[in-house]
Chain A
Amino acid sequence: MKILVAVKRVIDYNVKVRIKSDHTNVDLTNTKMSMNPFCEIAVEEAIRLKEKGVASEIVVATIGSKACQETLRTALALGADRAIQVEAEDALDSLSVAKLLAKLATDENADLVIMGKQAIDSDNNQTGQMLAALLDYPQATFASEVVVEGGEAVVTREVDGGLQTLAIQLPAVITTDLRLNEPRFAKLPDIMKAKRKPLDVKTPEELGVEIKSNLEIVSVTPPPERSGGVKVTSVSELVEKLKNEAKVIS
């Protein structure tokens, strides 16, 4: 079984984003970038399926500028076998990303596509579902447990009311939630070895995918500041303030 994993290079999750002073967009110059945390979980899940003997090959792909090759190398060091970078602007819209991934999934004949549920920059939470729709594949989003068996994946999903379990026929798309697994760290020798693993570069033209977006950013502004409040010295002062000042309890 072949697994395609889609990874995105994003702002590191510990870093608070800066906003350009002209409010045209965020400012990512000299910002620490990392693999999207949900994508790390996707890579880890694929590796575990390979270690269990369920998967035979892991292909990892990203859509973005040359700098994203670094993210692919990280995935290769962790255990992916091959990588594909589709050269495109960073911050492409989800539908275009999904169309490019759909072409890769078809060309590669992948039995399973694993990706993050959400990129922590756009917070879109769309690409996996779009990819599944374009390929007419079933999907299991927000996965917290995956069991692959007999041509299907039985997936437990984190939903608002608790958990839901679905059985989806392969080929399929799975998107990861935080509790699916705890990703490993890459070891130094593996980082060295990853430099020699194959990394292909493709273009949207080669893949025959037209990039267009009908979504325009009008402005990006900082959120309204919450002014820090006061410290109270006791529980009774807290209760008094909530009753008489904030008037949120009676």
Chain B
Amino acid sequence: MSVLVISEHDNSTLKPATLNTITAAIEVGGDVHVLVAGKGSQSVVSQVSTIVGVSKVFVADNAVYEHQLAENISKLVVELASDYSHIMTPATTTGKNLLPRVAALLDVAQISDIIQVESSDTFVRPVYAGNAIATVKSTDVTKVITVRSTGFDAAVPEGGNANQVTVEQVIESNKCRFVSDQLVESDRPELTAASVIVSGGRGMGSGDNFKLLEGVADKLGAAIGASRAAVDAGFVPNDMQVGQTGKTVAPDLYVAVGISGAIQHLAGMKDSKVIVAINKDEDAPIFQIADYGLVADLFEAVPELESSL
């Protein structure tokens, strides 16, 4: 048994979801090797080399890999695949974009979004927006898997000492060209890695009103999330969406403000340790899963919350 993990990074920093994926890989058993494909990503390579449990790092450093395009990176992964029983990535937008291509090229199934490793061939994953939990067994020679971060602790980032191996293959992506990125800059913790999240829904009424949540988030060191309705209404950018089709989060504390609690939203946050809901409708479904519910107008409750923290 040996597992190849495809790391996720922006050529300078390793994305934390990779650490959770490495834990899943360690649970499968055997050697854990990590591919860092990028351009000028030496610092990522150094970060990966010290992760406890990783014994080898493949380094594919070339301009063609700068934007992590699925078209060529899938082929690069396939070149390495024959030595591995398992190939894993985080179930992030980058991982979801890439890995099904790898599976198809290897003519095997992909197991999406696992939250548990039962054994080296049996995995647990939510389906139907988390309203059913499926245990699936694969008899494919190579198991191709994306890993939901909230299902696994982060691997220990310091203390390991992996070998570095250079991968020479340069595979072009001539049918797909990167045009631009509009990434949202924020000083707050990343949503999927935050231990406290304050989220706003349609009840916030406008993008400006999200400033109210910032005050609370500042005091709690929290990330800010949103429902789809808040994103659709243009209050906040898409990268803040929590839910079945947005991000899955499981912080220690999730505060839902002006969010009704549709199943698609719950799918992304109901594994949070403690859930607080602030909503003026006492029958809002969110209260059925909230540990602490406050029936109140958010425009009064949120400023008061900020000043009492």
What DSSP secondary structure best describes chain B's contact surface?
mixed
- Verify B134–A219 contact, CB threshold 8 A: yes
* A192: Cβ under 8 A from any B Cβ: no
**Which residues of A does B touch, CB under 8 Å?**
11, 13, 16-17, 19, 26, 93-95, 98, 117-118, 120-134, 137-142, 144, 154, 157-169, 172, 177-179, 213-223, 226, 228-236, 238-239, 241-242, 246, 248-249
A95-B133 contact given A159-B93, A214-B138, A238-B294, CB 8 Å threshold: no
Please tell me if the beta carbons of A238 and B276 are within 8 angstroms of each other in the complex.
Answer: yes
Partner of A230, one of B138, B245, B291: B291
Distance (whole angstroms) from the CB of A175 to the closest CB of chain B: 9
CB–CB A16/B263 < 8 A: yes
When chains A and B are docked, how far (Å) is the Cα of A241 from the Cα of B112?
A: 37
> Any chain A CB within 8 A of the CB of B97?
yes
B232 contact set on A, CB distance < 8 A: 178-179
Inside 8 A of A168's CB, which chain B residues have their CB? 175-177
Can you spell out 6 A-B residue pairs with CB atoms less than 8 angstroms apart?
Answer: A127-B100, A129-B96, A139-B71, A215-B109, A217-B136, A223-B130
Decide: A26 and B132 in contact? CB cutoff 8 A: yes
A238 touches B292 (CB 8 A): yes
Closest 6 CB pairs of A and B: A229-B291, A129-B100, A130-B104, A138-B176, A133-B104, A133-B101
Q: Are B131 and A17 in contact (CB under 8 A)?
A: yes
Assembled-state Cα–Cα distance A157/B179 (Å): 11
The answer on a CB contact under 8 Å between B139 and A214 is yes
Q: Take A168-B175, A172-B175, A178-B232 as given contacts and tell me if A17 and B107 are in contact as well, using a CB distance cutoff of 8 Å.
A: no
Contact of A232 among B71, B184, B292 (CB under 8 A): B292
Residues on B close to A: CB < 8 A?
10, 67, 69-71, 74, 92-94, 96-105, 107-113, 122, 126-140, 173-184, 192, 196, 220, 228, 231-232, 237-239, 244-245, 247, 252-253, 263-264, 270, 273-276, 282, 287-296, 301, 304-305, 308-309
B245 and A159 form a contact (CB under 8 A):
no
In the complex, chain B residues whose CB is within 8 Å of the CB of A232: 292-294
From A95, A141, A163, A172, B109 is in contact (CB under 8 Å) with A95
* Docked pose: A123 CA to B263 CA in angstroms: 14
Task: Name the A residues within 8 Å of B175 (CB-CB).
Answer: 137-138, 168-169, 172
Instruction: Note all chain B residues with C-beta closer than 8 A to A249.
Output: 196, 220, 253, 309
Q: Which residues of B contact A239 (CB under 8 A)?
A: 305, 308-309
Contact of A141 among B96, B184, B274, B309 (CB under 8 A): B96
User: When the two chains form their complex, are residues B93 and A158 in contact, meaning their CB atoms are under 8 A apart?
Assistant: yes
In the complex, chain B residues whose CB is within 8 Å of the CB of A165: 178-182
- A129 vs B99: C-alpha distance in the bound complex, in angstroms? 8
Give A172 Cβ to nearest chain B Cβ, in Å. 7
A141 to B92, CA, bound (A): 13
Instruction: Let me know if A235 and B292 touch, CB within 8 A.
Output: no
- Say whether B292 contacts A161, CB under 8 Å: no
State in angstroms the CA–CA spacing of A222 and B183 once bound together: 37
Interface of A is mostly: mixed
Picked from B102, B110, B132, B293, the residue with its CB within 8 Å of the CB of A94 is B110
Cα distance A123–B304 in the bound complex, in angstroms: 39
Q: How far is the CA of A98 from the CA of B275 in the complex (A)?
A: 39
Bound Cα distance from A177 to B245, whole angstroms: 8
From A134, A159, A218, A236, residue with most partner B Cβ within 10 Å: A159
Residue of B nearest to A99 (CB): B104
A164 touches B305 (CB 8 A): no
- Most B CB atoms within 10 A — which of A124, A144, A169, A233? A124
B108 CB contacts on chain A under 8 angstroms: 95, 214
- The docked-state distance in angstroms from the alpha carbon of A231 to that of B282 is 9
Known pairs A98-B104, A178-B245, A223-B126; A246 contacts B308 (CB<8 A): no
Given contacts A142-B97, A179-B232, 4 further A-B contacts (CB under 8 A): A120-B128, A129-B100, A223-B131, A223-B132
Question: What residues of B have a CB within 8 angstroms of the CB of A236 in the complex?
Answer: 308
Cβ distance B305 to chain A, nearest Cβ, rounded Å: 5
